[in-house]
Structure 1
Amino acid sequence: MATPLQPIIIVRKKKRGGHGHHGGAWKVAYADFVTAMMAFFMVMWLVATMPQEQLGGIADYFKNPSAVEGKSSSMAPGRAGPGGAGEAPIKMFDHARKPPDASPIRKPGAMDQQSGAAQKAGDEADRRKLEALKRALEEAVASSQALAPFKDQLLIDITPEGLRIQIVDAHNRPMFDLGSPTLKDYTREILSELAGYFEQVENRIAISGHTDTSPYTGRSGYSNWELSTERANAARRALVAGGLSEDKLSRVVGLSSSVPFDRNDPDSPVNRRISIVVLSNAAERSAARVDSGARVAQVGAKIAAP
């Protein structure tokens, strides 16, 4: 009996080529990702530094981006189709426009009013604190053995920036050596006494040095600008040595003779002075806004640079 033939099975294997080279496509995707992250952090930073009233205006805009307040449940047709651009420009910071009555979102105007009321209350408390410090300093000048002899040279007043204490020269009692940033011993003692009072409040300190209009002739390339700056810095060191914390300092500047105390007599000794300002909260906020605007301008200039 013949053996039945077995079917012949042919297995054909397909040869597959290796993966093609991806080239630089991943670099483009990675660059897009980095750009998006940079833009995200830039937006977050701008939002964090933007004034409250502008944030309220932007929030108001996104609640109703039309030029007029809508009352229909369906989108109104526009020149670009339903939901397209309106017929008039959008006012992003129009706080007079109210959101629909049915909206559960709190009105930005109310939030701004609450924030403004809290800020006003804080500024009022800050003003009372500075006035109390002024009275304490005046009492100390009248009774302290270290300060009483200099009561005519310690000028204390309240300014829009805060509580200002000016230490001025007298005809026979200068605060510094002639034409030098070196403090007299009694000036160092005065600053040491003042440091204890400044440390009692949370407000930061600004120090400025001033000279009269007499030109400095001590050495070439050195003027009243350098002298006033070094005197302000010498006062800073004396305050810190007297117990003032370094982080309480806001700025130390030299103004030469640009801001005279006695405008009628530019060479008067009172124009040679050190001015110390215990900054108010309002002055700190104003300085912060100026600094924030300067930083935004610098970032914009770097982005626009080729």
Structure 2
Amino acid sequence: MIRRQPIETKINHERWLVSYADFITLLFAFFVVMYSVSQVNETKYRTLSETLGNAFSSSAKKTNKNRSPDTTEAEVAPLKQIEQQLEQALSGVLATGEVTLNGNQNWVEIVIDANSFFSSGQATPSDEARTVLNKVADIISPFDNAVAVGGHTDDTPINNAQFKNNWELSSARAVTVVNLLAFAGVSPERMSAVGYGEYRPIADNQTPEGRSANRRVVLRVARDRADIPKVIAPNAIPQSETPATPANPEPVVNPGPAEEQPETVEPVRLKNGGLLFTSDPDRARNNR
């Protein structure tokens, strides 16, 4: 028998070159793509950017034109800006001391001398008071800062035909200032009025000068927007949740107490052959 010669297989020690060549090809392709991406056509990019900018700006202008003035929300002005404008507008009364201007990081305070702007024991403002408050309103009306007005008096008792005590007088003067500001264009939703009577003095009521300093109306412009809560009646039911009432409701009949059903009696045969008639046959069987 002739034996077949085995075929010698040559071992290729250079097969790693195939994988290496594939890796180099992929790496080359990667850098080619990265280079092509980095080369942006500046002219086309600038054209696209301008087109998008014009489109968005035109749509924003259309939205602002279609928006009614009532829906435009006013801005909150910085206190420093308001204080500087008030100093310029009220320079005359500030020099005479009829109005004092103070401020800090939370509010700007306008102290109005009630002796100059109101008659003794009265809440009717003078012409000078109207002029000053109109200037104040022109400055603060474009903005949405909260405004609080407080009336103060001295401790001299008062009891005339209009006011029974200093509480009523101080409150009436504060309300008068609020009404004048609202009439001049300040939004009523951002204002509040309160009367303190003689209970928050800034000077000694034992002297005429101290009593004169305590008779004042203080107007404070806050740095924040007025917080206006929405009040909902506690018993109010939304219309969508109101249960529908049928046109012809059927009368409700009281069924009354349920009638007791008579117990069913069943015969049970006993071990001795007899019959037992009972309403609880299981119990009878267990007791046989």
TM-score w.r.t. structure 2 length?
0.48
Q: What is the TM-score normalised by the length of structure 1? A: 0.45
